[in-house]
Amino acid sequence: MDLKNKTAIVTGGASGIGLAITKVFAANGARVHVLELKDKNKIETEGDIVIHKCDVSDFSEVNKVIGDITQTEPLHILVNNAGIAHVGNIEQTSEEDLDRLYNVNVKGVFNCIKASINSLKKTKGAILNIASIASHVGIPDRFAYSMTKGAVLTMTYSVAKDYVDEGVRCNSISPARVHTPFVDGFLAQNYPGREKEMFDKLSKTQPIGRMAKPEEVANLVLYLCSDKAGFITGMDYPIDGGFIRLNN
């Protein structure tokens, strides 16, 4: 799955799942542009990686950063990974919570595709969106998150349909729980002294009995963005340890 001579953009690519994607892309020869909200100094990995400070919820900012990239090199791959979460049902979700998640998880994906699509048409490139198991099944106390990830899934189908004749492929993946630093921080903040107990409990919600590793998710993204997957578009791939099908 060689990505030599290809340029990729990965949003939120300096931490968690995004960092794993950045690393596997760079290890396979891609030049990777990482869009991050906060300043990041350096990613400790081998490969050609450039980090740009960018708020994906701000179209003018996204358009400028991506425009600067595509003025100097062709764009082959866009991975919309940046996203934020919220815990709560509709009664526990404020208007501000809903707007905050919409702006990043939905508008952020829209902004990056809109700013990239002309360049991707020229290279017959690939778009990969990070959806979620919450795009497919009801998850308790994840109202706003589920709403936004459902939108990511249907945006994937719409873009794939609209641009198949232009040679642009658009797919998504739907992870279940993935063991990232975010999970460890969430447990430490909300369950002090019970971190191990709650980690085991959350791990067992996947029928396979554990959370995914970020590298496992990144390897699926690598395949779907590579030429090996050239016949695949308009698809969503759950990577969920059996959560969607085997929990019913």
Q: Annotated catalytic sites, by residue?
A: 145
Phi/psi of residue 63, each to 5°? -60, -40
Phi/psi of residue 34, each to 5°? -100, 125
Q: Name the 3-class secondary structure at 131.
A: coil
Cβ-Cβ contacts under 8 Å for 220 (sequence gap 6 or more): 173, 237, 239
Look at residues 57, 62, 79 and name the one whose alpha carbon lies nearest to residue 13: 79
Cβ-Cβ contacts under 8 Å for 192 (sequence gap 6 or more): none
Scan for tokens 């019970």, then name that residue: 194
Look at residues 133, 136, 222 and name the one whose alpha carbon lies nearest to residue 174: 133
